[in-house]
Chains A and B, each alone.
Chain A
Amino acid sequence: MGNIQSILDQSMEIDGAIGVALADYDSGMCLGTVGGRQGFDLEVAAAGNSEVIRSKQKVMRSLALDDSIQDILITLGKEYHLMFPQPGSSLFVYICLSRQGGNLALARHKLTELLKNLSI
């Protein structure tokens, strides 16, 4: 059996984590979410950001870049929004971190490790 809930729960333990979603970037649909805050719908956010990943992939194809996306970072005034695609699949982890309480390097490291163990 899969371990999605466990991966999401462990992601929420990252310092400064506000909300985490595991989503599919082909459909923009979520397989699970944890956390969030009032007025911030993680399902909508993950769906919108799946278009960001697909757009970047399209650009990479246009440029004939023989590479893959390791992560995408969007820096807001108060938050970091990170997207981590799982290699070899269309799944990605989307995490929203507080800039005040979060450590970007540690978050990247932990998410990379967690994604290695993701199974469905």
Chain B
Amino acid sequence: MAQIDPETGNLNLQVVYDGAPQSGKTSSVVSLGRILECPVVTPGEDRGRTVYFDWMDYVGGLCQGRPIQSRVLTVPGQEEWSSRRRLILDSADAVLFVVDSTESRVAESKRRFERLCEDLQRRRRDIPVLLQLNKRDAPDALPAEELRARLGAELECVESVAPKGWGVREAFVLLVSAAIRALRNSECLYSHALFDTQEMQLPDPEKLRELLEHA
């Protein structure tokens, strides 16, 4: 949740990358880290699959004169870690849903997208959700409009090829922008809620990993 760090004065935001397994969540964040020259922390990877999360911090941009510190998190895509996924989603200010554009993966992406909508609705989280249509260089990639129609998601979207870094920065910036707009619209930015020091201590990667271990 958005908070203001009392020490730095930064506006802290958490943006979360969700999506079906192997849709390119980690690949997107790793590419983004390379472009923005920020290290990405991935605790407990298991044979290339995310078990906990990927974590990246980036300070850039301004909101009401405050530097924005964006905490980028991915969720584990595999079904067995869905409780970890939900815990991470609970802290999100905006969600980027990464979609594998290939024909054979559309059904899985649709199922996962519906689950994301259900999870957000159940928790009454009215936060922005954007689409990142990934793997656009695949020979059987569906046209963007058809993909969105089949997902049933008429949302703002960015096309990408994550390993090459195409589209990942654009998706990230639009996601943070949507989170800031949502904060402004809720007038949260002008309220005391953001200054509540009790809620400001966001965990570091190790504390978050410990928290998720029991989830």
Residues of A at the B interface (CB closer than 8 Å) are 1-2, 4, 24, 26-32, 43, 47-48, 50-51, 90, 120
Contact = CB atoms under 8 A, between A and B. Distances in A.
B174 interface: yes
A28 to B, nearest CB: 4
B6 interface: no
B61 A27 contact: yes
Contact of B60 (A1, A29, A90): A29
Contacts of A48: 62
B2 interface: no
A43 B62 CA distance: 11
A26 B60 contact: no
A90 B170 CA distance: 12
Contact of A31 (B161, B173, B184): B173
Most chain B beta-carbon contacts within 10 A, residue among A1, A2, A31, A90 = A1
Interface string B66-107: 001000000000000000000000000000000000000000
Interface of A is mostly: mixed
Contacts of B166: 1-2
A55 B114 CA distance: 39
A29 B177 contact: yes
B6 to A, nearest CB: 21
Contacts of B176: 24, 27, 29
Nearest to B181: A26
B125 interface: no
Contacts of A51: 62, 65
Given A2-B158, A4-B170, 15 more contacts: A1-B166, A1-B167, A2-B167, A2-B170, A24-B174, A26-B184, A27-B61, A27-B62, A27-B176, A29-B68, A29-B177, A30-B173, A47-B62, A50-B61, A120-B170
Contact of B68 (A1, A28, A30, A90): A28
A49 B161 CA distance: 30
